[in-house]
Amino acid sequence: MLIKRPADIAPSEITPRSLFDGRRDFIRAAGLGAGAALLGGVLPVPAHAQTAARGAKLGPLARSAFSTDEKLNDYQDITGYCNFYEFGTDKGDPARNAHRMTTRPWTVSLEGMVQKPKTLAIEDVLRLAPLEERIYRLRCVEAWSMVVPWVGIPMSALLKQVEPLTGAKYVEFVTYHNPKEMPGTLLPVLDWPYVEGLRLDEAMHPLTLLAVGLYGEVLPNQNGAPMRLIVPWKYGFKSAKSIVKIRFTDKEPLSAWTRANGREYGFYSNVNPEVDHPRWSQARERRLGEFTKRKTLMFNGYGDQVASLYTGMDLKKYF
C-alpha cells in the first residue's frame, strides 16, 4: 500500500474543511438514526439547528406556477445547515453567528449602464411586485441538495426599475461586507466583499428570484437576509446573499469564487452532471435528510425552461 507523505499530496486532493464537516455530520446523523430506530426514539435536532429563530410572517402570498411538487426540507434543515462564508466555513457557523448582522435599515443601489440609477430601501423593494412562494430545488457544489419554499419577487421586477442600456450584457451583484458583524471575513478565504454575476438574460429570466423569505416568513440572517438572489438551475454559490449593490455592465463580472479558483468555479456554474468538480463527481447528489443518493439532473431539473439560454454553447467549456 502506498502511503503519501504530506509533501506528496497535491492541493487538489485535500478535502475542504466544509466538505469534511458535512461528511462528519452525515456520519454522525446516520449513527444516531440507527440508534434511534433501535430504541424507538426520535433523531435529535443538531445543536446548531436549534439556534434558528423563526421570523415574522409574510403575506399574502401569490401562488406560483414555478414550484416543484417535491417534498420540502424542514425549516431546521434549511436554516441550520448553510453555506455563508462571511459567518464561517462550517455549515453550522451561519446559524451560530449571523444574528450579529444588522438588516434594518437596508438599501440596495442599482447603477452602471442604466437610464435611471437609483437606491431603494428594502421596504420599497417589497412593494415592486406581489410576494409569491416558489418551491425550488437548491443544488450545492458539494453534491448535496434540498427543496426550499422561498418567498420573493421576480428579479426582473427590480432590474426593470432602472431601464438597462442597450449595451448592458451582464449584472454584477455585490453583497454586504462588515467585518465587525461577519467574523468569517476576517479570514482570507475569499476576496471580500462577495461578488457574483449573471448574464442579463439570465438575471431577467422568470425563474430568477429575489428572495426575501422562506416558509412564509421573513428570511433568516443565515439564509441571506434581507434579500438574496435565487437562480435555481445553477449551483448555490451563484445565488448571492445579503445584496447591497447591483451593477449593470458590458463585461463579464469576476465573481468571488471564480477569482479564488477559476479552475473549479466557472462563471456559468450551471448544474451539469457531465462536468465534474476537479475533486469529486457531480453526477449524483444527496438530498439533505436522505441517505440514498440520487441522479443529478441537468440544469437541476429546469432544462425545459432554461436550456434555450445556452443554445450552441459548449457547456463543458463554459462551465
Q: 273-285 b/e with 16+ CB inside 10 Å = b?
A: eebeeeeeebeeb
Helix (H, G, I), strand (E, B) or coil at 284: strand
**Using an 8 Å Cβ cutoff, are 241 and 174 in contact?**
no
Q: What is the pLDDT of residues 250-289, one digit of tens each?
A: 999 999 999 999 999 999 999 999 999 999 999 999 999 9
pTM, rounded to two decimals = 0.84
Helix (H, G, I), strand (E, B) or coil at 116: coil
Out of 47-61, 117-131, 244-258, which region has the weakest mean confidence (pLDDT)?
Answer: 47-61
Closest by Cα among 96, 93, 197, 97 to 155: 197
- The amino acid occupying position 61 is L
Euclidean distance between CA atoms 239 and 198, whole angstroms: 10
Amino acid 53: pLDDT: 63
Provide DSSP, 51-88.
Answer: G-----B----B--TT---SPPPPHHHHHHS---GGG-
Superfamily grouping for domain 45-310: Oxidoreductase, molybdopterin-binding domain (3.90.420.10)
Out of 52-61, 87-96, 252-261, 290-299, which region has the weakest mean confidence (pLDDT)?
Answer: 52-61
- Residue 186: CB atoms within 10 A of its CB come to 11
Amino acid 125: pLDDT: 97
Amino acid 43: pLDDT: 33
Amino acid 89: pLDDT: 97
Q: What is the pLDDT of residues 165-218, one digit of tens each?
A: 999 999 999 999 999 999 999 999 999 999 999 999 999 999 999 999 999 999
Percent pLDDT > 90 in the chain is 82
